[in-house]
Structure 1
Amino acid sequence: MPLDKGKNGFTLPKLPYAEDALAPIISAQTFSFHYGKHHKAYIDNLNNLIAGTAYADMSLEDIVKKSAKDEKAKGIFNNAAQSWNHDFYWHSMSAKGGTPEGKMKKAVEDSFGSLDDFKKAFKTAAVGQFGSGWAWLVESDGKLVIETTANADTPLAHGRKPLLVADVWEHAYYLDYQNRRPDHIQAWLDKLANWSFAEKNLG
């Protein structure tokens, strides 16, 4: 999902649905802050940070991968990774979320035993991520695995293949769920997880 890039740098990508489409699990008010303020700020900051540098002509994915290994580019990495993570997150959800089918269903069952077992493991990982971060479903060596990353970190920076992600930064759910991260993650898994998107990423 390459982000559009014009003469003035990267632009905030359009959401794949209306801001109220995922209510009540994620309200339009949460989207107005999370997408309209937080995501936009990461992109604006990134454009300012890469201006006049070797990163200015790179794709967003290449910026994430290269800056992850550059000790002098931590600010660039944080804003590039958060820009990429958020775009991936918006696509990881759908109002028609539900259960995996076909190839994705088989992959989940082969790797976790059942969809319920996957949900339990994913929820445990997401709830257990201390502080801000992300919970990912990743393909690794032909198997599906669950990973968590802190802050802006992303499997993309480590050569792994993300399939689906849940945002566990507080701004992703606090207006709707306050400190009830477990309830939010359960609702996200049951109602919003976009398994069609995950299957496209599985390849």
Structure 2
Amino acid sequence: MTSIAYFRLYWKFLEPEQGNYRWELIDKALATAPQLADKSIDELLADNLAIVPESIRTAVRNNGGGHWNHSLFWEIMGPKKGGEPTGLLAKAIQRVFGDFNQFKEKFAAAAMGRFGSGWAWLIIGQNGREIISTPNQDNPLMENKFAVIGLDVWEH
């Protein structure tokens, strides 16, 4: 579980203008729901935002989802990151998808198949490991699934 304070710090250095703007929107929304002040971003987004009042759900979905998605995205991007996986992830990909090239083809198809803005994900859900795509800033947490890899397929 990742705290909201961690995400604030992360965005302060990576995308200060965008981060401040999004946090202003999240803070404004959460000001109307003080019972959520001590909840983590994971808890807010889980189970399709079940604990978030309907009146602020869209703001938390769009802005909180955006923070969570990009924070994972930036964790897996960077120097000396990427490439073909090793260890348990490599074995799981081979078992589920056949090999890394087949995984890449299916992952690319999920990304390219997303019309408009969204994300492609390698997730762990009730059916095991699978590739899914979500619209806008939605993410696997909202469906009680665990994200392993996320790819931003927004048209920016």
Band of TM-score, shorter chain: 0.7 to 0.9
The one-letter amino acid paired with 1:61 is D
Pairwise CA RMSD: 2.5
| Structure 1: 4+ residue segments shifted above 6 A | none
The one-letter amino acid paired with 2:8 is T
90 and 142 in structure 1: CA distance in 2 versus 1, 3 angstrom threshold: same
* Residue of structure 1 in register with 2:130 after alignment: 145
How far did residue 156 of structure 1 move?
Answer: 0.4
How far did residue 67 of structure 1 move?
Answer: 6.4
Out of 139, 144, 148, the residue aligned to residue 154 of structure 1 is 139
The one-letter amino acid paired with 1:13 is Y
The one-letter amino acid paired with 2:42 is E
Cα distance in structure 2, aligned partners of 1:138 and 1:101? 17
14 and 74 in structure 1: CA distance in 2 versus 1, 3 angstrom threshold: closer
- Deviation string 1:20-51 (CA, Å, 9 cap, x unpaired) is xxxxxxxxxxx7xxx34434432231122112
Does 1:57 pair with 2:38?
Answer: yes
Match of 1:134, SS state, is: strand
How far did residue 52 of structure 1 move?
Answer: 4.1
* Residue of structure 1 in register with 2:2 after alignment: 2
* Residue of structure 2 in register with 1:164 after alignment: 149
**Unaligned 5+ runs, structure 1:** 20-30, 172-203
Match of 1:13, SS state, is: helix
Percent of pairs with identical residues: 32
Aligned residues: 151
How far did residue 170 of structure 1 move?
Answer: 1.9
11 and 59 in structure 1: CA distance in 2 versus 1, 3 angstrom threshold: same
TM-score after normalising by structure 2: 0.83
TM-score after normalising by structure 1: 0.66
* Residue of structure 1 in register with 2:74 after alignment: 90
Cα distance in structure 1, aligned partners of 2:93 and 2:54? 37
